[in-house]
Amino acid sequence: MSEENIEADPSCCASCGVAEIDDIKLKECSDCDLVRYCSDVCQKEHTSQHEEACKKRTAELREELLFKQPESSHLGDCPICMMPLPLDRQKTGTWTCCFKIICKGCAYANGLREREEKLQHSCPFCRKPVASPEQGDKQTMNRIAANDPVAMRRKGTQQYKKGDYDGALEYYTRAAKLGDLDAKYELACMYEFGKGVEKDRVKVVHYLEEAAIGGHPIARHRLGLIEWDNGNNERAVKHCIIAANLGDDDSIKALMEAFRSGRVSKDDLASALRAHQAAVDATKSPQREALEEFVRRKGLRK
């Protein structure tokens, strides 16, 4: 069998040609899905022959991953009502006792229950009493010690607001390594504006892409703006459509503007508008609507 045929046959080691039988198990190239090897030695020996094709395929896989539509936003569902969390952060809250992100509809319903039953004000999720600022700081550090990425990101934001950019960078980086997508977005912002770090366009795009792949609509929208600035209309439109499908208002506005200037087709805009409305409707619940009505009656915000 020729070397070309060996590389095309997934049942054989791309280097030595041994077949996957009995106790011989093959593993894929660590970077692409084109070839398989029987050992690390074979993979190393085959590097020079496979390198060019590997780089090309790795780039293709990255593009496929980058432009794949996430099933939901990175926020996921409220752990109480199990409905998608709204993208508007004013409509969600985080308690330092458990660091669960909870919709304010559930928090509002919990507050009504506490008043009716004359109960102590507590976390809607874990029912622990609401902490004082000092207790909250202690709880935050306890959660950080337990490797809670949400607590790390919150601490990073606290340090950032104080002007302690080194501290913010440390906590954001730790949270990002544990998979927190908001932390990755914050790192992108730090490298874009040079807060505590040197401005680095490559790292900005890297962290935005990492966040966008996980369903972060704001990061996705920012990537769209960058692509438009670079003159890459097709990629920009793809990013904004994906973000709009997750319910991002700014991306819908950008697509409407692009449609008016002839950069987006009528069908693509119509599809994005339907998906955007569906994503927004999915975040509605009786509890959330009750809170909105209460806010309107009280005139607490426009």
What confidence tens digit (pLDDT) does each residue in 267-295 have? 999 999 999 999 999 999 999 999 999 99
pLDDT at 23: 84
**What percent of the chain clears pLDDT 90, i.e. is strictly above it?**
86
Q: Please write the tens of the pLDDT for every residue from 33-55.
A: 889 999 999 999 999 999 999 99
Whether 103 has a pLDDT exceeding 80, the answer reads: yes
Neighbours of 28 (CB within 10 A): 13
CB 300 within 8 A of CB 269: no
Cα(86)–Cα(217) distance, rounded to whole angstroms?
12
What is the mean predicted confidence (pLDDT) over 20-33? Answer: 87
Mean of all residue pLDDT scores within the chain? 93
pLDDT at 33: 85
For tokens 């109480």, what's the residue?
Answer: 80
Distance CA 261, CA 89 (A): 31
pLDDT at 301: 57
Q: pTM of the prediction?
A: 0.88
pLDDT at 141: 96
pLDDT of residue 3 exceeding 70, the answer is: no
pLDDT score for 259? 97
pLDDT tens-digit series, residues 230-272:
999 999 999 999 999 999 999 999 999 999 999 999 999 999 9
Say if residue 187's pLDDT is above 50. yes
The DSSP line for the chain is --HHHHHH-TTB-TTT--B--TT---EE-SS-SS-EESSHHHHHHTHHHHHHHHHHHHHHHHHHHHTSPPSS-TT-B-TTT-SBPPS-GGGEEE-TTT--EEEHHHHHHHHHHHHHHTPPPB-TTT-PBPPPHHHHHHHHHHHHHTT-HHHHHHHHHHHHHHT-HHHHHHHHHHHHHTT-HHHHHHHHHHHHHTSSS---HHHHHHHHHHHHHTT-HHHHHHHHHHHHHTT-HHHHHHHHHHHHHTT-HHHHHHHHHHHHTTSS-HHHHHHHHHHHHHHHHTT--HHHHHHHHHHHHHT---
Q: Are 7 and 50 in contact (CB under 8 A)?
A: yes
Q: Which range among 10-24, 81-95, 120-134, 247-261 shows the weakest confidence by mean pLDDT?
A: 10-24
Q: pLDDT tens-digit profile of 106-152?
A: 999 999 999 999 999 999 999 999 999 999 999 999 999 999 999 99
- Is the predicted pLDDT of residue 175 greater than 80, yes or no? yes
Structure tokens at 253: 């506005």
Give me the pLDDT at residue 5, please.
Answer: 46
Q: Distance between alpha carbon 58 and the CA centroid of its chain, in Å?
A: 21
- For 226, other C-beta atoms within 10 Å of its C-beta total 18
- Supply the pLDDT for residue 2: 44
Place of tokens 């426009």: 302
Q: Is the pLDDT of residue 1 over 60?
A: no
Instruction: Give the angle 268-274-277 at the CA atoms, nearest 5°.
Output: 135
